[in-house]
Amino acid sequence: AFTRAAVYSFARPGEVEVVLVPYVPEAARPGGRLPVAVLRDHEVEEARRRVADDLDRRRALGTSVRAGWARYKAVSIRARVVVRREEDVDAVRQRIHDRLHQTLSPLPTPLNPAGWAFGEPLRASNVYRMLEHAEPGVRYVESVRFVVDEAPDAQVRTLAVDQYQPGTWYAGRGPVLFRSTNAGSGWEPAGRFEGESVLRVTPAP
């Protein structure tokens, strides 16, 4: 949960937002693998509505509360991993995959009982620490790169800075509107307009 005024300049005082992650049984996430599509498939509107109604009954005077599903960014990790001579490469690779999937999950896992924290940035140093320090079969790791499914590229037709929201930028590429909330360091799709092209973005207060 967070106060919206701490994140959004346009929010009114007293607005609180609670972010929900659906329950996904372990059978639906083998080895900790949890694609965004699986999370979306387990979002139950009736459950969200019950949470929202319960929060509304308990809210303090002068506040408003909303409950919504979390937004996710799918990330692939590429790296060169050198293993010790006596190790089984395939076994180490499988352990690495399991460790990454379980550590970077928004849901609790045996390796990360609290789940990956909301808003916690993912850095290359996190990956080095997870693999070099926690996996005994690894000698060293290098050339860590993050790959996202969608990001603005050379085909961007428009770029706008939101003067009402610090650090927020927008970019249009084909039918997709992208948003960055960290001054361009990271991007995620914010809207999709099939059959159209985003040619201009005008932030509104």
List the alpha helices (DSSP H) in 42-88. Answer: 45-58
Interacting residues of 167 by C-beta distance below 8 A, sequence separation 6+: 180, 181, 182, 183
- pTM, 2 dp: 0.75
Kindly give the confidence (pLDDT) of every residue in the chain, 205 residues in length, as a single tens digit, with 9 standing for 90 and above: 778 777 777 778 888 999 999 999 989 998 889 999 999 999 999 999 999 999 999 998 888 999 999 988 888 999 999 999 999 999 999 999 999 999 999 999 998 999 998 888 889 999 998 888 878 889 999 999 998 878 888 789 999 999 888 889 999 999 999 999 888 888 888 899 999 999 999 988 7
Under 8 Å between Cβ of 83 and 96: no
Query: What average pLDDT is seen over the chain?
Result: 90
Residue 140 region, left (φ>0) first, then alpha (ψ -120 to 50), else beta? Answer: beta
Q: Which amino acid is at 95?
A: R
d(CA 167, CA 161): 8
